[in-house]
Amino acid sequence: MKRCLLVLLLSGLAHARPAPSTLIANIPGRTTMSLNGAWHAIVDPFDNGKGTFFRDEKPRSKSDRVEYSFDASPVLNVPGDWNTQREALMFYEGPVWYRREFSYHKRTSTRAFVYFGAVNYQATVYLNGEKLGEHEGGFTAFNFEATSVLREGTNTLVVEVNNVRRVDAVPTLKFDWWNYGGITRDVALVEAPSIFIQDYSVQLTRGSQTEVDGWVQLNGAPSGQKVTVEIPEAGARETSAVDGAGRANFHFAAKLDLWSPAHPKLYDVVLTSGADTIHDQIGFRTIEVQGPNILLNGKPIFLRGISMHEEAPFRGGRAFSPEDAQTLLGWVKDLGCNFVRFAHYPHNENEIRLADRIGLLVWSEIPVYWDIDWANPATLANAEAQLRDEIARDHNRAAVILWSLSNETPVKPERLAFLKQLAQDARELDSTRLITSAMNHVEDTGSDVRTISDPLGEVVDVLALNEYLGWYWGRPEDADKMQWKSNWNKPLIVSEFGGGAVYGRHGDADEIWTEEYQDNLYQHQLAMVERMPNLAGLTPWVLMDFRSPARMLPGVQDYHNRKGLISNRGQRKIAFYTLQRFYKKLAEAGK
Ligand code: GCB
């Protein structure tokens, strides 16, 4: 008995599971007060403000010594990274304190939450001098309840943001993108009744196109409280009562027009419980694998995709707005894609919602990137929390078909155990979507033969391979004779290949950094991938040039990764049109 307890305690220590998500689902479907705009900000490289700045003190007399002042500090825009707002902050990594005042009118039976779309990387939030909470992870949404701390009239919100890289963080010390710091997505005060709809899932029953399965999670509700789910356009309506944990399950028949890239039909779904009513726009589709195929609504689909970062076109910096999403996903559509890989972290909700509306299937990913601190339980708990919050925000989006657990992680036992845990979590949190991981481990199994043999292949539903033949190894022409094999009879996405080119730089096909070199590489790659076993999709690297501190070559990179098919100023390189033609051909062939 004692031994059992000890084992239990030890295993608990080895893996402290993160608490369930407290995220309020569907912020766009709720009434909110925006807290975007100009926030006063103090850049605090030595972290001197800890323990004081959250009080937002002002001198009480002319002899009072207060060595900081939000009022006298310049402002930063929210949402926005600090790096591209002030030249001196381009390379800055460390703490910045943000402050915003707002006026609030308290109402009875109303709860209020401070919601952040994302803060990179660590956020500590204070309201009126009281700590509301902390959040780690630069790309996931979070909220804290503020009801009891809010005051009638003026309120002061202070956030310490710290984007310092850490060996035990996710991502870790090295990654090939810019470490944009700041409050990078929308901030809002969200109001809800005392009993409110915290989260829900409404989607087709696995394996069925005519039945809907779902659940609703209420916050603050007594057992037996009624909840109604309605899809008025389909004439479907179901009422059920929550259990002691505030949860109600649904199952009903409905005749629905299925969502697909060719027909991105969204239904208005209405959820009601007591004083709370919210609307969401939801598409209904099925996604599954069958041997080497990915089936959308029961039929094989080829994923004509592209990888992209959340980097703002034209102005540079972190993308966040609906306009940024329109431009970027507009380019994805122009390329002829039905699929997009949001690399290497969960992207902002404007992109996901737009993908839902315009019919783009989405691969969503957490920043488990390269070699992280696999054996550290806190690192695992952090990755699990990021995965949980990614799924909490987007699990009702028809566009999202793949949760990707990692990118280019080295083959070793502690990494496999870590990623197996994430796969198990993802399946528990959302059993309806497919699991993948971008792998780069291949074995040389003959002359010009490479075999996909990463043991992680066993765990995922869809294999994904980053291979840079013609760039990091071999010549583009080597692709012509390369044969590929896979240890698993599973669908394969070639999730990355590519090469750098400066827009407007021309030369021979063997002159590196020219558009011709990049284009030649694409031509040989595209001929090769068509011969790959079980190929179910492609997401070449990458839609647009993006900033990276790892890319220093003057006159060529200037701190940009130049593998974009489009420059960061929106100019299309030759290879853009080559991939576009390839996708057109596939689409015409019914793929
Ligand atoms: C990769 C990474 C991606 C890099 C890219 C490159 O394999 O997944 O994050 O930016 O290669 O350009 O080297």
Distance 308 CA to ligand 1 centre (A): 11
CA 2 to ligand 1 centroid distance, Å: 50
Is residue 557 lining ligand 1, measured as CB closer than 6 Å?
no
Residues ≥6 apart with Cβ < 8 Å to 468: 496, 497, 498, 499
Tokens of 125: 């939030």
Other Cβ atoms within 10 Å of 123 Cβ, number: 22
As a whole number of angstroms, the distance between CA 403 and CA 583 comes to 24
**Size of the chain, expressed as the number of residues it contains:** 591
Q: Is 575 exposed, middle or buried (0-12, 13-18, 19+ CB in 10 A)?
A: buried
Ligand 1 atom nearest to 466, measured from its CA: 7
- Compute φ and ψ for 241, nearest 5 degrees: -115, 145
H helices of 348-498, where? Answer: 349-358, 377-394, 413-429
The phi and psi torsions of 292 (rounded to 5 degrees) equal -85, 5
Q: Which two tokens stand for residue 589?
A: 């062939």
Residue 7: its pLDDT value, please?
43
Cα 526 to Cα 345: distance, rounded to the nearest angstrom: 26
Q: Which residue's CA is minimally distant from atom 3 of ligand 1?
A: 176
CA distance linking residue 201 with residue 250, whole number of Å = 9
- From CA 11, how far away is CA 343, in angstroms rounded? 33
Ligand 1 lined by 561 (C-beta under 6 Å): yes
Cis? peptide before 263, omega within 30° of 0:
no
CB 26 within 8 A of CB 281: no
105 CA to middle of ligand 1, Å?
Answer: 49
**Residue 182's CB: how many other CB atoms inside 10 A?**
31
Rama region for 68: left / alpha / beta (φ>0; ψ in -120 to 50; rest): beta
Work out which ligand 1 atom sits closest to the CA atom of 498: 12
| Three-state secondary structure readout of 391-419 | HHHHCCCCCEEEEEEEECCCCCHHHHHHH
Q: Ligand 1 centre from 549 Cα, in Å?
A: 13
C-beta separation of 195 from 277 below 8 A: no
Hey, which of 409, 541, 542 would you mutate to test ligand 1's pocket, going by the most ligand atoms within 8 Å of its Cβ?
Answer: 541
Residues with Cβ within 8 Å of residue 45, at least 6 apart in sequence: 92, 94, 95
Contact 382 CB / ligand 1 (< 6 Å): no
CB 401 within 8 A of CB 361: yes
Over the stretch 196-227, which tens digit does the pLDDT of each residue have?
999 999 999 988 999 999 999 999 999 999 99
Which residue type sits at 312?
A: A
First-to-last alpha carbon distance for the chain, in angstroms, is 59
- CA 445/CA 10 separation, integer angstroms: 42
SS3 388: helix
Backbone dihedral angles phi then psi of residue 153, each to the nearest 5 degrees: 90, -140
Q: How far apart are CA 536 and CA 342, in angstroms?
A: 18
Q: Of 515, 532, 531, 493, give the one whose Cα is nearest residue 578.
A: 515
pLDDT of residue 18: 82
Among protein residues, the one whose CA lies closest to atom 9 of ligand 1 = 176
User: What's the gap in Å between 463 CA and the centre of ligand 1?
Assistant: 17
Ligand 1 atom closest to Cα of residue 561 = 12
Return the bridge partners of 34, or none. Answer: 188
496 Cβ inside 6 Å of ligand 1: yes
CA distances from 289 to 263, 360, 435, 441 (A): 21, 18, 10, 23
Please tell me the residue having the least CA distance from ligand 1 atom 7. 466
* Ligand 1 neighbour 365 (Cβ under 6 A): no
The reported pLDDT for the residue numbered 2 is 44
Residue 370, ligand 1, Cβ within 6 A: no
User: Mind listing the pLDDT tens digit of every residue in the chain (591 residues)?
Assistant: 344 444 444 444 456 678 889 999 999 999 899 999 999 999 999 999 999 999 999 999 999 999 999 999 999 999 999 999 999 999 999 999 999 999 999 999 999 999 999 999 999 999 999 999 999 999 999 999 999 999 999 999 999 999 999 999 999 999 999 999 999 999 999 999 999 999 999 999 988 999 999 999 999 999 999 999 999 999 999 999 999 999 999 999 999 999 999 999 999 999 999 999 999 999 999 999 999 999 999 999 999 999 999 999 999 999 999 999 999 999 999 999 999 999 999 999 999 999 999 999 999 999 999 999 999 999 999 999 999 999 999 999 999 999 999 999 999 999 999 999 999 999 999 999 999 999 999 999 999 999 999 999 999 999 999 999 999 999 999 999 999 999 999 999 999 999 999 999 999 999 999 999 999 999 999 999 999 989 999 999 999 999 999 999 999 999 999 999 999 999 999 999 999 999 999 999 988
Torsion of CA 540, 138, 185, 425, to 10 degrees: 80
407 Cβ inside 6 Å of ligand 1: yes
DSSP one-letter string for 294-351: EEETTEE--EEEEEE-SB-TTT-SB--SHHHHHHHHHHHHHTT-SEEEE-SSPPPHHH
Q: Which residues pair with 104 in a beta bridge?
A: 153
Residue 458 has what DSSP assignment? G
Tell which phi-psi region holds residue 377, choosing left (phi > 0), alpha (psi between -120 and 50) or beta.
alpha
pLDDT per position as a tens digit, 513-557: 999 999 999 999 999 999 998 999 999 999 999 999 999 999 999
Q: Tell which one of 345, 407, 496 to mutate to probe ligand 1, the residue whose CB is within 8 A of the most ligand atoms.
A: 496
Residue 584 token pair: 């057109």
Given this model, what pLDDT does residue 4 score? 44
Contacts of 265 (CB under 8 A, 6+ apart): 257, 258, 259, 283
Compute, in angstroms, the gap from residue 95 CA to the centroid of ligand 1: 28
- Cα of 176 vs centre of ligand 1, distance in Å, is 6
Ligand 1 atom with the shortest distance to the CA of 438: 8
The predicted model scores a pTM of: 0.97
If you search the block for the tokens 């083959």, which residue do you land on?
A: 411
What spacing in Å lies between the alpha carbon of 543 and ligand 1's midpoint? 12
Decide whether any atom of ligand 1 lies within 6 Å of the 281 Cβ. Answer: no
Atom from ligand 1 closest to the CA of residue 175: 9
Percent of the chain that is helix, strand, coil (3-state, to 5)? 20, 35, 45
Helical packing angle, 574-588 and 515-529, nearest 10° = 20
Q: Which residues are paired to 463 by β-bridges? A: 437, 492
- Ligand 1 atom at minimum distance from 407 CA: 8
- Cβ of 545 below 6 Å from ligand 1: no
Instruction: Confirm if 139 and 347 have CB atoms less than 8 A apart.
Output: yes
Question: Does the C-beta of 176 come closer than 6 Å to ligand 1?
Answer: yes
In this predicted structure, what is the pLDDT of residue 14? 52
Residue nearest to atom 4 of ligand 1 (CA): 176
Q: Where are the alpha helices (DSSP H) in 438-566?
A: 515-529
Tell me if 408 CB under 6 Å of ligand 1.
yes
Cα dihedral sign, 449-509-176-528: negative
Tokens representing 555 are 């006159």
Exposed / middle / buried, residue 100 (Cβ in 10 Å: 0-12, 13-18, 19+):
buried
The rounded Å distance from CA 344 to ligand 1 centre is: 10
Of ligand 1's atoms, which has the minimum distance to the CA of residue 471?
A: 13
